[in-house]
Amino acid sequence: MRILKIVIFLISGLIISCSKNDDIELNCLNDMLAEFEMTAYQGQEIGCEFFLELYHYNRKQYYLLGNHCADMISYPTDCEENKLCEKDDNKCERFYKNAVRIGIVGISL
């Protein structure tokens, strides 16, 4: 009987710890598309067009401006338009090491 209680306790603990809410904090895709004057990406050829990539990091959305033909600096930007690693290279390193790339979500008009 004691072993059964221990097993039930362990299983309960496992279930509770695995059900942690990891939902993304905000969804501001439409705002970011408007900010960068872009349209939703639907598989168009990118070529030299500017594009917007979505990342998830620390339960937040981050957007990164890109262009295959331009040599540029771009910082991951959150929904409040805060640039993540503009002043702290360690934040950038952690971002690129741990962020989950969702993919391209916008392309210039």
pLDDT digits (tens, 9 = 90+) for 56-70: 999 999 999 999 999
- Residue 44 in this model has a pLDDT that exceeds 50: yes
Residue 14 in domain? no
Query: Considering its fold, how many domains does the chain have in total?
Result: 1
Residue 1 in domain? no
Residue 61 in domain? yes
80-93 average pLDDT score: 84
20-43 average pLDDT score: 80
CA dihedral for 97, 56, 85, 90, sign (positive or negative): negative
Residue 100's domain comprises: 23-108
- Residue 2 in this model has a pLDDT that exceeds 70: no
| Percent of the chain clearing pLDDT 90 (strictly above) | 57
CA dihedral for 27, 55, 94, 18, sign (positive or negative): positive
14-42 average pLDDT score: 71
Q: What is the DSSP string of 81-98?
A: --BTTSS-HHHHHHHHHH
* pTM tops 0.75: no
